[in-house]
Structure 1
Amino acid sequence: MKILVTDPIADAGLDRLREAGHDVVTAYDVEGADLREQIRDAAGLIVRSGTKVDAELLDAAPELVIVGRAGIGVDNIDIDAATERGVIVANAPEGNVRAAAEHTVAMAFAVARSIPQAHARLKDGEWAKGDYLGREVNNKTLGIVGLGRVGQEVAKRLGALGMDLVAYDPYISESRADQLGAELAELDEVLDRADFLTIHTPLTPETEGLIGSEELARLGDGFVLNCARGGIVDEAALAAAVEEGTLAGAALDVFADEPLDPDSPLLDVDEIVVTPHLGASTEAAQENVATSAADQVIAAINDEPVVNALNAPSVDRSAFPRVRPYIGLAETAGRIAVQLFDGRVNSVEVEYAGDIAEEEVEIVTASALKGVFRPLEVRVNAVNAPGVAEERGIDVTESKTSQSDVFQSRVSVVVSDGEEDIRVCGTLFAGDDPRIVQIDGYRVDAIPHGHMLVARNHDKPGVIGFIGTVLGENNVNIAGMYNGRETIGGEALTVYSLDSEVPDELIEQLEEDERIIRAQYLALNNE
């Protein structure tokens, strides 16, 4: 598979992709129409912050399976557009966590002790010892906006140096904050109490401009640290607050526009320390994010769990071997159900019984939806299937029971129009051999593969022979047959596994016989 890499990453990541057998193409200075041409046949794309992955670029990539971000921030990637097109977006949030946390701590000391300013003056020949009176971090309060991975690592480090920790994060539990020794509070309270304010949130519509002039005024004679994302802090307001003495200083590693404009007001204020987005710039971090992004691209192409997927169902890697066989089974059950169903699908229910009910099955449910929506003239996969259901107003439910019938585990897909429904149940024999064991209440034992014919008929002698004869006369070979009936002489359902497709004329020929209630051809693995 072709993997396109459009921003420089460590050689370790490129080597990982090549060792997996992929064709790696680097295009670091390509953009516009040339980039769209390069991505046309790519299965994977790896970027950093330099490449804008928007709807236009995604539309030029019909083969694309995954966009891997070698780093944590994904504000340069249109995740909604990727999801609509069934493209996984995954980042590498852990690879540079330690590096970003350490850089934040370094920036705290740099601004509190005026290290860059004193260094520059000494290099210029000035011994300005009396001009700088630093502040210690011990017994000071650290306000943390965003207690995610990096925020937690900063809390551990600066908390260990004697700082009191108060944090604003609506998405973290009090118990986790307690473990870190941090007190949770609303943003205004954090600003009022903090001597140092450090920011560790992603850039989103909710966080853009989160810290403006009013918020900066609440800090008093404090310091602002931002090694997360530019745009969260109003840079002009920050420069003014420090220059006017409202704030003691600030240290920034990220900016709303990068590279930073030489005319930025931030550069005119001596008490503001700036670095050119160095938070992840350590040898270990660069290698970690590169190999992490590569591993996730490889996993996506191999239909394995993508552990840091931002828009796709995921499963713990240790649990994946137990769940994986049911992914294909659920998709096939969904495909069978929707092809047999005559009504307009208003709802889909996926039922789990037995051992499989004990597992995390979000990815299995998404695969069942993928099967149901397969006839749509859009690209549907486990990434965008839940969104397709919501967009079309189709209710999706998931139910579990530890009780199963004769099978250790069973997965059922039920499609309904609100009045009529059809249920298709499947299980695994010997751990990984998929079987369809029930269709609309009829017990069968069908191998779900290739081409199938499902015939509903009156249970009378000679029907199966008649169907076999018609198939034979039309050069369609039977690979297997599975029959179920309600009662002797009642209705029966027979599933035929075939070696080739069934033409419409053959279906018409079968249904001309009064003993045949309905005959339906199912295509299970055609693309």
Structure 2
Amino acid sequence: MKVLVTDPIADAGLDRLADAGHTVETDYEVEGDALLEAVADANALIVRSGTEVTEAVFEAASDLVIVGRAGIGVDNIDIEAATDHGVIVANAPEGNVRAAAEHTVAMTFAVARSIPQAHARLKDGEWAKGAFLGTELNNKTLGIVGLGRVGQEVAKRLDSLGMDLVVYDPYISPERAEQFGAELVDDLHEALARADVATVHTPLLPETEGMIGADELAQLEGGYLINCARGGIVDEEALAAAVDDGVVAGAALDSFATEPLPADSPLLDVEDVVVTPHLGASTEAAQENVAVDTAEAVRSAFAEEPVLTALNAPSVDETAFPRIEPYIDVAETAGRVAAQLLDGRITSVEATYEGDIAAEDVELVTASALKGVFEPLEWQVNAVNAPRLADERGIEVTESKTRQTEDFQSLVRVTVHNGEESLAVEGTLFAGDDPRIVRIDGFRVDAVPYGHTLVARNTDEPGVIGFIGTVLGEHDVNIAGMFNARETQGGEALTVYNLDQAVPEAAVETLLDDARIVEVTEITLDDAGVRDAA
């Protein structure tokens, strides 16, 4: 598999990929049309913040499986376009957390004690001891905007220094904040008004862009603002004015709306604003960590294993994956068979889990069931974009679980509806890892789901199975296995045939010419090819 790396990452990550047998190509200058050409045959793209991964990139890269961001922020990646094209986007959220938290603490001390300013004056030959009166952090209040991974690490460090913690984060509970010794408040203005130091740790999203402007800075009167998260969250012009006017005592920033920071930025003209050129993750350990984490995400994606740091794909805990892995294919096969046997446009899909599997996180299994449903409809689909496709097409998706099951240790049922009728296909594992389709539309079949498969509905009367076998034999199609069930004697029967060859169209026509044959559907389970007949 080809991995294209367009921003520098540590050799440890590149070595992981090369050692796994993948072809690694680096081009740190590529952009524009040259990037589209370079990524055309790539299976993975690894970037940092320097490469803009736009919809055009995904359009050009039909073989792309994953985009790995060697770091936390992904605002340079069009995740919506990635999802539409079935491409995983994964970041490395843990590798530089400690480095970012430590830089935040360092910037807090730097601005509170005027360290850079005093350093510069002394370097210029001035002993300006009386010019700087610092602020101690002990017994002061820290306002944390966003209690994510970095925010949590900052909370731990500054709490230990004797600061009181106030948190604004609409996505966490009061109990979670209390675990870090913090009080959760519901209003950003309240958090800023109570803070002596406010530190920002949110991603750059439409709802956070420009979140802290002149009105918010006015709440932080006499305090300090620290932003080592993402540029664009803080209105830089308003911040420069607030510090210059003395509304805010000082500010320290490591991230900016435009990087590199333009020479005419108002932030550079205010003495009590400390700036660093996006150094939050710039430690040797952090760079190696994010490179290795990104490489591992790529390797997992290539192996069709869960990518634990995926931002747009169903994931699962690493320890739980071995327990659900065998059911991924079972669910996908059940979805594919169900979709092909139901007439009409699918309006809803239900995934039901019974027995031991019901105790697991099955989000990935459900996504795989949807993949199976949509694949025969000739949509470009995988477990990444299957939930999105369902939503875009107005297909309702439900998931239910019960620990009760009648016949099997675990059972997966995929039911498809067309508004008037429904059809369910059930699958399980025999002897631990032997997949079987055990029911189709209520018929107990115990069929082996592989290769060329023919599903036939017919009246239950003597000679029908023999007739089907004869027709297949006349067209040089060998039957590898057969699984038959019936409603009642003389009623309708359903038979699943495992075949060694595809069924010619002429054979299908011959079968349907017989009045006893109600319907036949050919399904190829080892690739995307499917043909219906009725």
| TM-score w.r.t. length of structure 2 | 0.97
Report the equivalent of 2:139. Answer: 139
Taking the aligned partners of 1:39 and 1:339, their CA distance within structure 2 comes to 35
Counterpart residue identity of residue 43, structure 1 = N
Q: Secondary structure at the match of 1:3?
A: strand
Counterpart residue identity of residue 472, structure 1 = G
Counterpart residue identity of residue 361, structure 1 = V
Shift of 1:89: 0.8
Taking the aligned partners of 2:182 and 2:316, their CA distance within structure 1 comes to 30
Counterpart residue identity of residue 118, structure 1 = A
Counterpart residue identity of residue 487, structure 2 = E
Report the equivalent of 2:290. Answer: 289
Instruction: Structure 1: state its 5+ residue gaps.
Output: none
Counterpart residue identity of residue 57, structure 1 = V
1:272 equivalenced with 2:277 (yes/no): no
* Post-superposition CA distance 1:55-82 (Å, at most 9, x none): 1111111111111111110111111111
1:261 equivalenced with 2:262 (yes/no): yes
Shift of 1:377: 3.4
Contact 1:434 1:447 in 2 (8 A): yes
1:246 equivalenced with 2:252 (yes/no): no
Shift of 1:418: 2.2
* Post-superposition CA distance 1:69-102 (Å, at most 9, x none): 1111011111111111111111111110100000
Contact 1:476 1:501 in 2 (8 A): yes
Report the equivalent of 2:307. Answer: 306
Instruction: Structure 2: state its 5+ residue gaps.
Output: 529-534
Taking the aligned partners of 2:410 and 2:364, their CA distance within structure 1 comes to 17
Shift of 1:121: 1.3
Taking the aligned partners of 1:375 and 1:428, their CA distance within structure 2 comes to 24
Report the equivalent of 2:532. Answer: none
Aligned pairs (5 A) from 1:207-222:
207-222=208-223
Shift of 1:375: 2.5
Taking the aligned partners of 2:344 and 2:122, their CA distance within structure 1 comes to 81
1:95 equivalenced with 2:95 (yes/no): yes
* Post-superposition CA distance 1:321-353 (Å, at most 9, x none): 000010011001111111111122111111111
Shift of 1:457: 1.4
Report the equivalent of 2:430. Answer: 429
Contact 2:342 2:418 in 1 (8 A): no
1:451 equivalenced with 2:452 (yes/no): yes
Report the equivalent of 2:358. Answer: 357
Of 397-406 and 7-16, deviating more is 397-406
Taking the aligned partners of 1:518 and 1:218, their CA distance within structure 2 comes to 72
Taking the aligned partners of 1:164 and 1:458, their CA distance within structure 2 comes to 77
Contact 2:343 2:418 in 1 (8 A): no
Shift of 1:515: 2.0
Taking the aligned partners of 2:342 and 2:405, their CA distance within structure 1 comes to 25
Aligned pairs (5 A) from 1:116-155:
116-155=116-155
Taking the aligned partners of 2:171 and 2:270, their CA distance within structure 1 comes to 35
* Post-superposition CA distance 1:405-443 (Å, at most 9, x none): 221111111111122111111111111111111111111
Contact 1:333 1:412 in 2 (8 A): yes
Q: Secondary structure at the match of 1:373?
A: helix
Counterpart residue identity of residue 116, structure 1 = P
Contact 2:164 2:182 in 1 (8 A): yes
* Post-superposition CA distance 1:460-507 (Å, at most 9, x none): 222111111111110111111111112222221111001121122211
Shift of 1:514: 2.1
Of 197-206 and 123-132, deviating more is 123-132
Taking the aligned partners of 1:46 and 1:448, their CA distance within structure 2 comes to 37
Taking the aligned partners of 1:52 and 1:357, their CA distance within structure 2 comes to 41
Contact 1:66 1:297 in 2 (8 A): yes
Report the equivalent of 1:493. Answer: 494
Taking the aligned partners of 1:32 and 1:22, their CA distance within structure 2 comes to 25
Report the equivalent of 1:373. Answer: 374
Of 373-382 and 329-338, deviating more is 373-382
Taking the aligned partners of 1:376 and 1:471, their CA distance within structure 2 comes to 26
Identity %: 71
Taking the aligned partners of 2:86 and 2:402, their CA distance within structure 1 comes to 30
Report the equivalent of 1:170. Answer: 170
Aligned pairs (5 A) from 1:453-472:
453-472=454-473
Report the equivalent of 1:49. Answer: 49
Shift of 1:248: 1.1
Shift of 1:448: 0.6
Contact 1:221 1:247 in 2 (8 A): yes
Contact 1:343 1:420 in 2 (8 A): no
* Post-superposition CA distance 1:198-229 (Å, at most 9, x none): 10000111111111111111111111100000
* Post-superposition CA distance 1:219-252 (Å, at most 9, x none): 1111110000011111111111111111111111
Taking the aligned partners of 1:490 and 1:378, their CA distance within structure 2 comes to 36
* Post-superposition CA distance 1:269-312 (Å, at most 9, x none): 11111100000000000011111111011111111111111111
Report the equivalent of 1:13. Answer: 13
Q: Secondary structure at the match of 2:375?
A: coil
Shift of 1:20: 1.4
Report the equivalent of 2:204. Answer: 203
Q: Secondary structure at the match of 1:294?
A: helix
Taking the aligned partners of 1:193 and 1:494, their CA distance within structure 2 comes to 72
RMSD between superposed Cα atoms in Å:
1.0
Q: Secondary structure at the match of 1:494?
A: strand
Shift of 1:525: 2.0
Counterpart residue identity of residue 160, structure 2 = A
Aligned pairs (5 A) from 1:402-421:
402-421=403-422
Q: Secondary structure at the match of 1:375?
A: helix
Counterpart residue identity of residue 359, structure 1 = E
Taking the aligned partners of 1:278 and 1:225, their CA distance within structure 2 comes to 14
| TM-score w.r.t. length of structure 1 | 0.99
Taking the aligned partners of 1:376 and 1:261, their CA distance within structure 2 comes to 51
Contact 1:102 1:154 in 2 (8 A): yes
Report the equivalent of 1:81. Answer: 81
Q: Secondary structure at the match of 1:415?
A: strand
Q: Secondary structure at the match of 1:472?
A: helix
Q: Secondary structure at the match of 1:34?
A: helix
* Post-superposition CA distance 1:174-194 (Å, at most 9, x none): 111111111111211111111
Taking the aligned partners of 2:196 and 2:5, their CA distance within structure 1 comes to 42
Contact 2:503 2:522 in 1 (8 A): yes
Contact 1:96 1:289 in 2 (8 A): yes
Counterpart residue identity of residue 327, structure 1 = I
Distance 1:332 1:462, change over 3 A: same
Shift of 1:45: 1.0
Contact 2:99 2:283 in 1 (8 A): yes
Report the equivalent of 1:23. Answer: 23
Q: Secondary structure at the match of 1:35?
A: helix
Shift of 1:378: 2.9
Counterpart residue identity of residue 43, structure 2 = A
Contact 2:91 2:310 in 1 (8 A): yes
Taking the aligned partners of 1:409 and 1:190, their CA distance within structure 2 comes to 49
Of 510-519 and 38-47, deviating more is 510-519
Taking the aligned partners of 1:176 and 1:517, their CA distance within structure 2 comes to 59
Shift of 1:32: 1.2
Counterpart residue identity of residue 232, structure 1 = I
